[in-house]
Amino acid sequence: EADIYQTPRYLVIGTGKKITLECSQTMGHDKMYWYQQDPGMELHLIHYSYGVNSTEKGDLSSESTVSRIRTEHFPLTLESARPSHTSQYLCASSVRDGFNEKLFFGSGTQLSVL
Amino acid sequence: KNQVEQSPQSLIILEGKNCTLQCNYTVSPFSNLRWYKQDTGRGPVSLTIMTFSENTKSNGRYTATLDADTKQSSLHITASQLSDSASYICVVSDRGSTLGRLYFGRGTQLTVWP
């Protein structure tokens, strides 16, 4: 069981609100990621970080921003939520395990913007 | 274009029966192939990771096979249980020592009936 936590699990919010999705891990992993997943569709990488003060945009264009001030925390912020942001957001962290990099996911935040 | 295709899209089986899920990919270069189990409303959990030199890998009742020549993988579930009901996601990486670029399939939604 991975020690990576996301809050809230569910969020229903009105258009135009600013929201922050929290993600924290207690495994000391340097690398962290945010994925977006719609029902029945593949995961898309929207942000990643290789360590403190490192943030990069992923493959999918996103209006969200992230920060990495501490190793354990990787919050994602939407300055002005829109209905198009309705989706599941999955946070993950990874660590080298032999030749491979093992990826651990949180339980996700289901966001609904009305 | 690098892609990961999974079949079938959905599958219903009776408890105790076996089943096989398929994954075809065109990702190149190829580093490793992962199978994840994702329960509804949860994050994906790793089942197996296979590099190009591995043909088969087991994790309890789950057995994954890989044919790097034909770029095909399968996940076989033996003696299915109700708790196996989930989405099974095939993920291909183009690099091993770092996470590289991950290519996600859309998953096979498995339902196990009593």
pLDDT tens column, A40-91: 899 999 999 999 999 999 887 788 999 999 999 999 999 999 999 999 999 9
pLDDT of residue B98: 57
Whether residue B44 and residue A99 make contact (CB cut-off 8 A), yes or no, is no
Per-residue pLDDT band at B99 (split at 50, 70, 90): low
Task: Kindly report the backbone phi and psi dihedral angles of residue A72, in degrees, each rounded to the nearest multiple of 5, phi listed first.
Answer: -75, -25
Residue whose tokens read 């044919």: B67
Q: Does B16 score more than 90 pLDDT?
A: yes
Interface mutation vs chain A, best among B49, B95, B99, most A CBs within 10 Å:
B99
Task: Nearest chain A residue to B106 by CA: give it.
Answer: A42
Whether residue B43 and residue A106 make contact (CB cut-off 8 A), yes or no, is yes
Per-residue pLDDT band at B37 (split at 50, 70, 90): very high
Cα dist from B94 to A23, B32, B49, B53, whole Å:
26, 7, 13, 14
Q: Does A2 score more than 70 pLDDT?
A: no
Whether residue A90 and residue B44 make contact (CB cut-off 8 A), yes or no, is yes
CB-nearest to A108 from B32, B42, B51 is: B42
CB-nearest to A105 from B44, B97, B100 is: B44
Q: Does A98 score more than 70 pLDDT?
A: yes
Whether residue B104 and residue A108 make contact (CB cut-off 8 A), yes or no, is no
Contacts of B69 (CB under 8 A, 6+ apart): none
Q: Taking the CA atoms of B88, B92, B95 and B100 in sequence, report the sign of the dihedral they define.
A: negative
